[in-house]
Amino acid sequence: MRVARYAIALAAAIHLAAPGALAAQDADYAPPADELAYANIIIDTMFPSDQREQMMVEVGANVARQAADGMMTGPLFQEPGLKAIMDRYIDALPETLRPLFAAHLPKLMEATAVAYTRKFSLEELREISAFAQTPSGKTYFSSVQSLLGDPVVAEANQAMFAAAAPVLQAEQARLRKEIEGYLKANPDALSRLDRASRQTKGK
């Protein structure tokens, strides 16, 4: 039971830890000020400051619903009561996460602008920002996120999530089995995890 518990926790956490670990490698990067200025013009066009929180909530709602519609299949979700519970959970999730979006948006916008300076040269950023300030550019950049809600895009995303569900389940099962095997073969590691768990609960 202890082995399975740790295997499940580690299998779930490993996918969340990787992006942060990769991002930390470039923590000392300082973007050139002129490049960052143009990048911020682009970001402000894509995500106007007075709209960006609602835009992120809507993106989250679209992705959550499309993922749920693609993955919530089979007998379990054919049970009306259970499906209703899941539907309520998915529908409420964006508003539940709104405070999180609001707290992290400034850093996210800053990081995205920095990412632009990595990807594009000064001249490219100048050209993109100039386009972003034209009527067509403003329409284009401000509508990119909303395209996730387009019915055709939603249908394609649902199909992708439906196809991904069995693949992810199989990979999680394989990963859990490998982790369980390691913990069974290394009881000292299991003991260290037990001690760490008790210390955490005691805090």
At 16 the pLDDT is 41
Residue 199 to residue 13: CA distance in whole angstroms: 20
* The two structure tokens encoding residue 147: 């395209």
- 3 in any annotated domain: no
- 146 in any annotated domain: yes
Judged by phi (left if over 0) then psi (alpha if -120 to 50, else beta), residue 186 lies in beta
* The two structure tokens encoding residue 164: 């991904």
What confidence tens digit (pLDDT) does each residue in 112-123 have?
Answer: 899 999 999 999
- 106 in any annotated domain: yes
- 6 in any annotated domain: no
- 11 in any annotated domain: no
- pLDDT digit string (tens) for the chain, length 203 residues: 555 555 555 555 444 444 444 444 466 778 999 999 999 999 999 888 898 888 888 887 888 887 777 777 777 677 778 778 888 888 888 888 888 888 888 888 898 899 999 999 999 999 999 999 999 998 988 887 777 677 887 787 678 767 877 877 787 788 788 878 887 888 888 788 788 877 777 66
> Is the pTM higher than 0.75?
no
At 144 the pLDDT is 75
- 202 in any annotated domain: no
Domain count, the chain: 1
- 71 in any annotated domain: yes
Taking alpha carbons only, the member of 70, 63, 60, 69 closest to residue 87 is 69
Angle, CA of 13, 16 and 21, to the nearest 5°: 110
At 9 the pLDDT is 52
At 1 the pLDDT is 55
Judged by phi (left if over 0) then psi (alpha if -120 to 50, else beta), residue 74 lies in left
Q: How is 146-178 classified by DSSP, letter by letter?
A: GGGGSHHHHHHHHHHHHHHHHHHHHHHHHHHHH
Quote the crossing angle between the two packed helices 33-46 and 80-119, to the nearest 10°. Answer: 150
- 17 in any annotated domain: no
- Give the range of the structural domain holding residue 125, as residue numbers without chain letter: 31-186
What confidence tens digit (pLDDT) does each residue in 166-199 have?
Answer: 877 787 788 788 878 887 888 888 788 788 877 7
Taking alpha carbons only, the member of 56, 88, 96, 92 closest to residue 72 is 88
